[in-house]
Amino acid sequence: MHRMMLFTILATVLGLVRAVPQCLRLLRARQAHGVSVDTAATSTIVSCGWATYGLLTNQPTIGFASGASALIFASITVLALRFGRRVNEFKIAPVWLVVLLLAVSTGGITGLSVVLPISVLAANIPQLWVASREGNLNDLSLGTWLLALAEGMVWGGYGLVQGDLSVITSSGFQVATSGLIVAFKLAHMAKRPKPPELTLHTLGEER
């Protein structure tokens, strides 16, 4: 019981806050270099799918955390479009919306349990593509993807305790893709030129 309570609390908190750093970064920078608007939009759709799954399977933790995430990802989508991304970047989002609607309308819980585990790939692959192709990742939030990595690990533990194969599979994909995105961001940060160090000699010259 205590283990389940811990997973529930951690999963809920991470689900609520993981996309917040990216949202705040966009608001502060007012640019969206390196941010995949397709990932943001697809994540909104996938989060709605998980919220539906949580309601249908009587797992309110999944429903609440995923519903809150959907709102934040929708905000990121709007901000990314406002600060430089383009509507024609939407490739996966419209397709996955149709896929999830068909899954829930034809298969209900079973349909969602089949489609949702691979939905994290549909959501994160566009960001992987952008991170690997664009040279400027300044506005991609490292914090959001570190939290996504942690969230995947927590949901994996939750799925193991619950015996929910859909959650376990989705968590594995989340950990793998988020880890790669974190690696791309760290590599980009390592390449950025460092500001010149001030020495006594240069200080004397400036005087």
Q: From CA 150, how far away is CA 205, in angstroms rounded?
A: 48
- Structural domain tally of the chain? 1
Residue 203 has what pLDDT?
40
In the three-class reduction of DSSP (H, G, I as helix; E, B as strand; rest coil), residue 71 is classed as: helix
| pLDDT tens-digit profile, the chain (207 residues) | 566 677 667 877 887 788 999 999 999 999 999 999 999 999 999 999 988 888 888 878 778 878 888 999 999 999 999 999 999 999 999 999 999 999 989 988 888 888 988 898 999 999 999 999 998 999 999 999 999 999 888 888 878 887 888 778 888 999 999 999 999 999 999 987 665 554 444 444 444
Report the candidate in 155, 57, 156, 150 with the shortest Cα–Cα distance to residue 112: 57
Q: What is the pTM of this model?
A: 0.84
- Using the CB atoms, write b or e for 124-159: b if 16+ within 10 Å: bbbbbebbeebeebbbbbbbbbbbbbbbbbbbbbbb
Range of the domain at 26: 2-206
Number of residues written out for the chain? 207
Please tell me the distance from the alpha carbon of residue 167 to that of residue 154, in angstroms, as a whole number: 10
Asked whether the beta carbons of 77 and 37 are under 8 A apart, the reply is: yes
Task: State how far the Cα of 146 lies from the Cα of 18, in Å rounded to an integer.
Answer: 8
83 phi, psi to nearest 5 deg:
-105, 25
